[in-house]
A = this chain, B = another copy of it.
């Protein structure tokens, strides 16, 4: 049985305030829900709108398409909606590289960066408090399930960077070429805001500015922050 209060609760999770309050978040689609079910993520409840789907999702609750539509963040809900408990933030004892995001605003960018961290085995992603919420539905859609495998914390970067003993690399337009910099085994990589780059406050903790060289006399202003993160993580891991 699904109570009205439960429906109300799930609908409320569209807002960050209620996600934080209940420590719950929503993902949609068979594939995404399955990925999380097979991860360390604990399910709160799964909802489906078709009895046939109960074979695939044993303990799911059957609701009408209308109710699923109310709960859904999609224009065209696709039959399966999972509510999961947020992962507990656990500080990794000894991460090798930490990625720090300074005010990344675009959900697609954050989602892609989480997926990249997962791909390149980055255990620790630290976001400034004004970076977009990682449980935002658009972020989750872009992570493709990687959300369960990367430890994401929201922190006061001033405080975080003041206390790290690792060298702090920052991505800048005018930094030293990554082809000339010998990246160490461990460090912090700071990526800045889409329009303004790394803020001055955070910039004061940077020990080395790095950049991705441009070729062929191009006058492109900058690379997309997610693409740049991918290139830098690849540089880090290729050794």
- A15 at the A/B interface (Cβ < 8 Å)? no
A145 and B226 CA atoms in complex are apart in Å by 18
With contacts A112-B227, A179-B238 known, is A123 near B220, CB below 8 A?
Answer: no
Q: Which of A74-82, A113-121, A130-138 contacts B (4 or more CB under 8 A)?
A: A113-121
Number of copies of this chain in the oligomer? 2
Are the C-beta atoms of A234 and B231 separated by less than 8 Å? yes
* Interface residues on chain A, size class: 35 or more
Are the C-beta atoms of B144 and A218 separated by less than 8 Å? no
Q: Per-residue 0/1 for A197-239: is the Cβ within 8 Å of any B Cβ (1 yes, 0 no)?
A: 0000000000000001111111111011011101100110111
A123 and B218 CA atoms in complex are apart in Å by 11
Are the C-beta atoms of B230 and A120 separated by less than 8 Å? no
User: Secondary structure at chain A's binding surface: helix, strand, loop or mixed?
Assistant: loop
- A69 at the A/B interface (Cβ < 8 Å)? no
Are the C-beta atoms of B237 and A215 separated by less than 8 Å? yes
Give the shortest distance, in Å, between A95 (CB) and chain B (any CB).
Answer: 11
Contact of A119 among B108, B120, B218, B226 (CB under 8 A): B218
Q: Specify which chain B residues have a CB less than 8 angstroms from the CB of A119 in the assembled complex.
A: 212, 214-215, 218, 220, 223
Q: Specify which chain B residues have a CB less than 8 angstroms from the CB of A122 in the assembled complex.
A: 216
Are the C-beta atoms of B215 and A146 separated by less than 8 Å? no
Residue among A218, A221, A227 with the highest chain B CB neighbour number at 10 A: A227
A contacts, CB < 8 Å to B: 108, 112, 115-116, 118-123, 144-146, 149, 179, 212-221, 223-224, 226-228, 230-231, 234-235, 237-239
